[in-house]
C-alpha cells in the first residue's frame, strides 16, 4: 500500500520512505534531503541521497548542488578511504526508481568500474 506524502507520487517507494510508510536505515535528514541505506548490497556501502520532494532525475540535476554536497559529506563519513557518487538516467542507464536520487558507493576498492 502506498502512503500519502504531500509532494509524493502514487506507487513511488522513495516517497513512501520519506513518508515513513516504508522502513529504511536513515543516515542523514534535513528539511529537503534524506540519506538512507540502499537495499542492494553489491558494494559494502551503498547509500541513496534523495530529495524529500518527488522530482525526476533531470529535475534533481537541475539543482544538484545541495544533494551533491550531502552525498560528498556522507561519502567522507562512511567511506573515508574513497567513494563514488553516481546517478543513472533511464532504463538503459540502470535507473530503477523514478524519484531523483544519487548513489554513494564505497567501503572497498571499486576498480575502474563496478561489476554487477
- Rg of the chain over Cα atoms, rounded to whole angstroms, equals 14
Residues 81-94 have pLDDT tens digits of 999 999 999 988 88
Candidate list 54, 99, 101, 103, residue with the active-site label: 101
The architecture of the domain spanning 27-106 is 2-Layer Sandwich (3.30)
Q: Is 81 exposed, middle or buried (0-12, 13-18, 19+ CB in 10 A)?
A: exposed
Q: What is the pLDDT of residue 116?
A: 58
Q: What per-residue confidence (pLDDT) applies to 10?
A: 74
Q: Is 41 left (phi over 0), alpha (psi -120 to 50) or beta?
A: alpha
SS3 113: coil
Q: Contact, 35 vs 27, CB < 8 A?
A: yes
103 is catalytic: no
Q: Where are the domains of the chain?
A: 27-106
pLDDT tens digits, residue range 48-64? Answer: 999 999 999 999 999 89
Amino acid at each position: 500500500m502506498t502512503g500519502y506524502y504531500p509532494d509524493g507520487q502514487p506507487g513511488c517507494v522513495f516517497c513512501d520512505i520519506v513518508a515513513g510508510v516504508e522502513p529504511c536505515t536513515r543516515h542523514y535528514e534535513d528539511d529537503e534531503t534524506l540519506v538512507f541505506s540502499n537495499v542492494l548490497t553489491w558494494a559494502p556501502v551503498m547509500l541513496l541521497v534523495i530529495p524529500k520532494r518527488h522530482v525526476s532525475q533531470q529535475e534533481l540535476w537541475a539543482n544538484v548542488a545541495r544533494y551533491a554536497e550531502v552525498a560528498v559529506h556522507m561519502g567522507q563519513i562512511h567511506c573515508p578511504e574513497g567513494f563514488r557518487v553516481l546517478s543513472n538516467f533511464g532504463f538503459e542507464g540502470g535507473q530503477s526508481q523514478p524519484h531523483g536520487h544519487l548513489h554513494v558507493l564505497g567501503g572497498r576498492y571499486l576498480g575502474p568500474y563496478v561489476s554487477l
